Amino acid sequence: MSNINLFETVKLGSITLENRTGVAPMTRTSATPEGLATDEMLSYYTKFAHGGFGLIITEGVYSDDKYSQGYLNQPGIINHEQIQAWKKITDSLHQAGSKIFIQLMHAGAISQGNRFVNETIGPSVVQPKGNQMKFYGGDGPFPIPKELSKEDIAEVTRGFAKAAKRAKEAGFDGIEIHGANGYILDQFLTDYTNQRKDEYGGSTENRVRLLVEVSKAVREAVGQEFTVGIRISQGKVNDYFHKWAGREKDAEIIFGNLGQAGLDYIHVTEFEAWQPAFSIGEGTNAPNSSMEDGPTLAALAKKYSRLPVISNGSLHDPEKAKSMIEKGEADVITLGRGALANSDWVNKVKNGEPLAEFDPEQTFTPDAKIKVFEL
Ligand X SMILES: Cc1cc2nc3c(=O)[nH]c(=O)nc-3n(C[C@H](O)[C@H](O)[C@H](O)COP(=O)(O)O)c2cc1C
Show contacts with ligand X in window 135-174 (CB under 6 A).
Answer: none
| CA 137 to each of CA 5, 362, 364: distance values in angstroms, whole numbers, following the listed order | 41, 17, 11
Tell whether the torsion through CA atoms of 283, 284, 285 and 286 is positive or negative: negative
Kindly state the smallest distance separating residue 187's Cβ from ligand X, in Å. Answer: 14
| CA 359 to each of CA 335, 341, 363: distance values in angstroms, whole numbers, following the listed order | 14, 7, 7
Nearest residue to the partner ligand X, using Cβ: 336
Residue 106's closest CA among 142, 146, 73, 64?
64
Which stretch in 8-16, 36-44, 312-320, 344-352 sits in contact with ligand X by CB under 6 A?
Answer: 312-320
59 is a site residue for ligand X (CB under 6 A): yes
The one among 68, 312, 323, 343 contacting ligand X by CB under 6 A? 312
User: What is the maximal distance between C-alpha atoms in the chain?
Assistant: 60
Kindly state the smallest distance separating residue 322's Cβ from ligand X, in Å. Answer: 15
Burial tier of 326 (Cβ tally within 10 Å: 0-12, 13-18, 19+): middle
337 is a site residue for ligand X (CB under 6 A): yes
The one among 99, 209, 231, 236 contacting ligand X by CB under 6 A? 231
Q: For the chain, first and last CA: distance in Å?
A: 32
Show contacts with ligand X in window 102-141 (CB under 6 A).
Answer: 103
Q: Which is nearer to ligand X, 80 or 371 (CB)?
A: 371
Q: Which is nearer to ligand X, 170 or 180 (CB)?
A: 180
Angle (deg, nearest 10), helices 39-50 and 80-95? 30
Q: Residue type for 294, please? A: G
Q: Which is nearer to ligand X, 180 or 251 (CB)?
A: 180
Q: State residue 141 phi and psi, 5-degree precision.
A: -65, 160
Show contacts with ligand X in window 170-229 (CB under 6 A).
Answer: 178, 180-181
60 is a site residue for ligand X (CB under 6 A): yes
Q: Which is nearer to ligand X, 103 or 194 (CB)?
A: 103
The one among 269, 296, 305, 323 contacting ligand X by CB under 6 A? 269
Q: State residue 65 phi and psi, 5-degree precision.
A: -100, 35
Show contacts with ligand X in window 25-44 (CB under 6 A).
Answer: 25-27
Kindly state the smallest distance separating residue 334's Cβ from ligand X, in Å. Answer: 7
Angle (deg, nearest 10), helices 247-258 and 297-305? 50
Which stretch in 20-28, 107-115, 187-195, 277-285 sits in contact with ligand X by CB under 6 A?
Answer: 20-28
Q: How many helical (H) and strand (E) elements, i.e. helices and strands, does the chain have?
A: 12, 12
With CB under 6 A, what is the number of residues at the site for ligand X?
Answer: 23
The one among 6, 12, 17, 24 contacting ligand X by CB under 6 A? 24
Residue ranges in contact with ligand X by CB under 6 A: 24-27, 59-60, 103, 178, 180-181, 231, 269, 312-316, 335-338, 363, 375
